[in-house]
Amino acid sequence: AQSVTQLGSHVSVSEGALVLLRCNYSSSVPPYLFWYVQYPNQGLQLLLKYTSAATLVKGINGFEAEFKKSETSFHLTKPSAHMSDAAEYFCAVSEGGATNKLIFGTGTLLAVQP
């Protein structure tokens, strides 16, 4: 069965600094991987997804993530944090196919300091 581990429930960065949110997955088959963002009092919004094409995936708002099979990782990065990036970020994995089920990590709350 697939699972997701997000290291760091809270991450704080300064405005303009690099954002790095970690995600490791476990899957018995080549996975599909996702990052979602949840702004305060809002629903979840897809940031980006990996579906076995390019291993470096670019998403919205300047975020990107790199699929590394050897490390079973899919870390989310952004070169320069903005105040508006403050939100909770969720990594998710699915095994696709007819029995697709989307499993989420516990989330990382990103704070951006001025």
Partner 1 sequence: GAGVSQSPSNKVTEKGKDVELRCDPISGHTALYWYRQSLGQGLEFLIYFQGNSAPDKSGLPSDRFSAERTGGSVSTLTIQRTQQEDSAVYLCASNLDSFEAFFGQGTRLTVV
Binding positions for partner 1, rule: CB under 8 A: 9, 32, 34, 36, 42-46, 49, 51, 90, 94, 96-107
Q: How far is residue 84's CA from residue 97's CA, in Å, rounded to a whole number?
A: 35
Provide the minimum distance between the beta carbon of 32 and partner 1 in the complex, in angstroms, as a whole number: 5
Nearer to partner 1, 70 or 99 (CB): 99
Could you tell me how far CA 95 lies from the centroid of its own chain? Answer: 16
Report d(CA 35, CA 47) in Å as an integer.
5
Give min distance, CB of 81 to partner 1, in A.
22
Element (H, E) at 26: strand 24-26
Q: How far is the CB of 80 from partner 1 (least distance, A)?
A: 26
| Minimum CB distance to partner 1 smaller for 43 or for 114 | 43
Q: Which is nearer to partner 1, 83 or 111 (CB)?
A: 111
Closest to partner 1 by CB, 22 or 49: 49
The secondary structure of residue 72, as a DSSP letter, is: T
Q: How many Å apart are CA 21 and CA 2, to the nearest integer?
A: 20
